[in-house]
Amino acid sequence: MKIAIITETFYPSTDGIVTRLTASIRYLKQLGHEVLVIAPDLGETEYEGTPISGIPAFQFFFYKEKKFSLISRKVKTALEDFQPDLVHVVNPALLGITGIYYTKKLKFPLVASYHTHVPKYAEYYRAPFIKPILWWYFRTLHNRAEVNLCTSQTVLEELKQQQFRNVHLWIRGVDTDRFHPGNYSQEMRERLTNEKTDKKLLLFVGRLAPEKDIEKLRAVFDQSDDFCLAIVGDGPHRSVLENKFSGTDTVFTGFLHGEELAGAYASADAFVFPSTTETLGLVLLEAMASGTPVIAADSGPTREQVEHEKTGLLYNPEVENHLVTTILRIKEESFRTSLAEQAYSESQSVGWDAPSRQLLEFYEDTVSASRSSLKQV
């Protein structure tokens, strides 16, 4: 099968979408399928042998750390040259408009996947009045696809309520070979704690943006001197966060990749996740696979991954100071160790083969249904 993947973000960018896509592409190629990626041009022409058709990309004022692609006829040319059996448009928003338009115009079967809860972000950017417009916009795009995928049951139900059609759950995955407790590094722990290794090390990994609610972790330092915080990642909110955490035992590392990222997960005492806007939160599984318990805001997607007081701790984001009191519980080392062991054990049943196999089945079913439909015409 020839598969074209059109995505708003891809390698060398790093986020949960890219992680899921690259794992899927490896799986598809191992089975002999041919894949073309159409993505913003970030200087790369291939990923592990898979060609990348780069579309001119630009920086915008609202997110200077990332480049975006807009409408481009290069998408049509790439699709016409490749002649895919199916097109998968990932997180359609900007470039995805072009992808959906030309896919339908050229009559290729279309799968779309929803990964970013943009309508929820409106509240964090003080524009709740545009939520209905955003829902209309994304619903219109996704309902052009024969099949829609999303990454948590909670989001699936919400999309159905918003009248997205033919929505299916694309199950979770994590690289258990890369992320495991054996990546613990004393050197990394010294780096992340600024050599205060006797303190409990809290870790956050992700995009630094207002909707992540990272600043809520500042309250921990007001009530306890027993913690350090490492913030791994970058984004438009970084300077605000650096000011907010000034004078505390907080280290900003910027992006970490590969062995360094795996070492950061495994060397922390707990992974903290204050966001309530995620569609899944792949970082939760990466932490758990590293033997690091999760402390997360209670939400539908986090509840699907973290079992309270077994593999981690969930706190009520609506209750004042509940985040801090929940974090303070891991000062009891025997309790923290029990959470860590169970988090690791739970993660071992999750890999990338199952979600990649499931994705291929969605592709095959969509192509089969499309061919049957053409025969009936």
What's the average pLDDT block by block, 10 residues per block, for the chain (377 residues)? 97 93 98 98 96 92 75 96 98 96 97 93 80 96 98 96 98 96 98 97 95 96 97 95 98 96 98 92 96 97 95 96 98 98 95 97 96 69
Q: What is the pLDDT of residue 375?
A: 64
The phi and psi torsions of 152 (rounded to 5 degrees) equal -150, 150
Q: Where are the beta strands (DSSP E) in 119-242?
A: 147-150, 167-169, 200-205, 227-232
Q: What is the pLDDT of residue 61?
A: 61
Domains and CATH numbers, the chain: 2-173+352-376 (3.40.50.2000), 181-347 (3.40.50.2000)
Position 8, amino acid: E
Preceding omega of 84 cis (within 30 degrees of 0): no
- In contact, 313 and 295? CB cutoff 8 Å: yes
Q: What is the pLDDT of residue 105?
A: 96
Q: What is the pLDDT of residue 145?
A: 98
**pTM exceeds cut of 0.75:** yes
pLDDT digits (tens, 9 = 90+) for 204-218: 999 999 999 999 999
Place of tokens 């439909």: 373
The pair of structure tokens assigned to 30 is: 């191992």
Q: What is the pLDDT of residue 67?
A: 86
How far does the chain reach from its first CA to its final CA, in angstroms? Answer: 23
3-state class percentages of the chain: helix first, strand second, coil last, to nearest 5:
45, 20, 35
